[in-house]
Amino acid sequence: MSNLLSIGTQFPEFKKIAVVSTEKGKEFAEITSQDHINGAKWMVMFWYPKDFTFVCPTEIAEFNTNYEEFRDRDAQLIGASTDTEFVHLAWRKDHKDLKNLKFPLIADTSKSLAEDLGILEANEKVAYRVTYIVDPQGIIRWVSANDLNVGRNVKEVLRVLDALQTDELCPCNWEKGQETIKVA
Average pLDDT rounded to a whole number, residues 3-8: 91
Distance of CA 124 to the CA centre of its chain: 21
pLDDT digits (tens, 9 = 90+) for 70-88: 999 999 999 999 998 988 8
Check if 172 is active-site: no
Residue 80 belongs to some domain of the structure: yes
pLDDT the model gives residue 63: 96
Residue 78 belongs to some domain of the structure: yes
| Predicted TM-score (pTM) of this structure | 0.93
Residue 101 has pLDDT above 70, yes or no: yes
User: Structural domain of residue 139, as residue ranges?
Assistant: 15-149
Residue 2 has pLDDT above 70, yes or no: no
pLDDT digits (tens, 9 = 90+) for 19-45: 997 566 688 999 999 998 999 999 999
69 and 102 in contact (C-beta within 8 Å)?
no
Residue 121 belongs to some domain of the structure: yes
Number of structural domains found in the chain? 1
Active-site hit among 43, 56, 117, 154: 56
Residue 160 belongs to some domain of the structure: no
Contact partners, residue 42, CB within 8 Å, separation at least 6: 36, 73, 74, 75, 76, 133, 134, 135, 136, 161, 164, 165
